[in-house]
């Protein structure tokens, strides 16, 4: 389950973490959650190819990652350091 009640556009989150969007920048993000527990409106984290199966199955609207994963039909927010970006977003959505 995602945290908090803050909502913002994916395009605004991309500015916050200096990321590049693959997909729809107007997606409304309502929270951040683990890849297993994410729901629609959440952003989640997938560090590398070991997350591929979970990335396909997640209910999250956006996946934060270093690169897009082939065969995953989600919007991606690509960043140089997904761990740092995820931590930053945790403090943003759950101060």
Q: According to the model, what pLDDT value does residue 94 have?
A: 80
Average pLDDT over residues 71-79: 96
Q: According to the model, what pLDDT value does residue 1 have?
A: 36
pTM of the predicted structure, to 2 decimals: 0.90
Q: According to the model, what pLDDT value does residue 63 have?
A: 97
**Residues 69, 63 contacting (CB under 8 angstroms):** yes
Q: How far is CA 90 from CA 15, 44, 49, 58, in A?
A: 15, 10, 23, 18
39 versus 2: which is more confidently predicted?
A: 39
Query: What's the pLDDT tens digit per position in 19-67?
Result: 999 999 999 999 999 999 999 999 999 987 788 999 999 999 999 999 9
Q: According to the model, what pLDDT value does residue 68 have?
A: 92
Exposure on the CB side of residue 30, measured as CA atoms within 13 A: 9
């Amino acid at each position: 389950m995602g945290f908090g009640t803050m909502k913002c556009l994916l395009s605004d989150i991309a500015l916050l973490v200096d990321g590049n969007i693959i997909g729809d920048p107007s997606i409304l993000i309502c929270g951040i959650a683990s890849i297993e527990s994410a729901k629609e409106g959440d952003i989640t984290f997938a560090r590398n190819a070991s997350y591929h199966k979970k990335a396909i199955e997640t209910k999250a609207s956006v996946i934060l990652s270093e690169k897009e994963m082939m065969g995953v039909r989600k919007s991606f927010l690509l960043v140089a350091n997904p761990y740092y970006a995820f931590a930053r977003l945790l403090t943003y959505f759950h101060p």
